Amino acid sequence: MKARLDEVMEKRRSIRTLERDSRITRETVEKAIGLARHAPSAYNAQTSRLVVLMNEEHGKFWDIAEKELRLVTPPDAFARTQKKLDGFRGGNGTVLFYEDAAETEKLKQDFPLYADKFDAWAQHNNAILEYAVWLAFAEREIASSLQHYNPLVDADAAKEWDIPESWVLVAQMPFGRAAEEPGLRTFKPLDEIVKFYG
Ligand SMILES: Cc1cc2nc3c(=O)[nH]c(=O)nc-3n(C[C@H](O)[C@H](O)[C@H](O)COP(=O)(O)O)c2cc1C
């Protein structure tokens, strides 16, 4: 029998067209994120920060993205962008993933031997946490995807949600009920990506 983690890892997909699901509550999201805190981070420094936007606050985020994208997208190409944004906006909420650069700077001072590593490790910390939240969502039948509208949206988001100056936006994860089936996922052969010895 498959372990539960195997199933969740296989179930997690990028679902970009979302619907609102009244069963996805703040409590469910809080539980998923609470679990994701088990994600490791360099020196256990936990440099990542999350902002969870639900309901009308979530709508506001995608209004900001739309406003900014209209400024940089040719008008005749915007219909496609609009459709994509509406797919995200249709969901219950969006998690904004930040890194606290002030914490990373402090680590560089406290551990000078690894000073040149901490910027990369901050990105690793964030990526691992993103994946942990993604899995915890998948386990709860919450569909989501990973988006990157930073830095276009950074200034307006910072103003709207009172984001500390040292927080740097890394990724956005809109979530809700799946309103699309993901396509077939392809994988490189194991022997192309792994070398086994012994
Ligand atoms: C670092 C990283 C960045 C990604 N950026 C985006 C993105 O900006 N927009 C998007 O729609 N998907 C993004 N994705 C999702 C990938 O395209 C997706 O995970 C991959 O195609 C495999 O599909 P699956 O997630 O359905 O298994 C990103 C994934 C990773 C790991």
The CATH number of the domain holding residue 141 is: 3.40.109.10
Task: Supply the residue whose CA is at minimum distance from atom 8 of ligand 1.
Answer: 147
> Which of 145, 149, 180 has most ligand 1 atoms within 8 Å of its beta carbon, as the pocket-test mutant?
145
Within a domain: 198: no
Dihedral of the alpha carbons of 25, 157, 124, 29, in degrees to the nearest 10 = 0
Task: Supply the residue whose CA is at minimum distance from atom 28 of ligand 1.
Answer: 146
The mean per-residue pLDDT over the stretch 96-116 comes to: 98
CA of 32 to the centre of ligand 1 (A): 20
What is the pTM (predicted TM-score) of this model? 0.97
Tokens of 45: 């420094």
Within a domain: 141: yes
- Is residue 71 classed as helix, strand or coil in its secondary structure? helix
185 lines ligand 1 (CB under 6 A): yes
The mean per-residue pLDDT over the stretch 71-89 comes to: 96
84 lines ligand 1 (CB under 6 A): no
Residue 3 has pLDDT above 70, yes or no: no
13 lines ligand 1 (CB under 6 A): yes
Spatial CB neighbours of 103, under 8 Å, sequence gap ≥ 6: 45, 47, 166
CA neighbor of 33 nearest in space, from 16, 14, 55, 48: 48
Q: How many structural domains is the chain composed of? A: 1
Query: What local confidence, expressed as pLDDT, does residue 92 receive?
Result: 98
CA quadruple 120, 139, 63, 156: dihedral sign = negative
Size of the chain, expressed as the number of residues it contains: 198
Within a domain: 135: yes
146 lines ligand 1 (CB under 6 A): yes
Within a domain: 190: no
Task: Supply the residue whose CA is at minimum distance from atom 13 of ligand 1.
Answer: 146
Within a domain: 140: yes
Query: What local confidence, expressed as pLDDT, does residue 93 receive?
Result: 98
Within a domain: 88: yes
145 lines ligand 1 (CB under 6 A): yes
The mean per-residue pLDDT over the stretch 164-180 comes to: 98
127 CA: nearest ligand 1 atom: 1
Query: What local confidence, expressed as pLDDT, does residue 1 receive?
Result: 56
Q: Quote the domain boundaries for residue 26.
A: 4-179
Within a domain: 77: yes
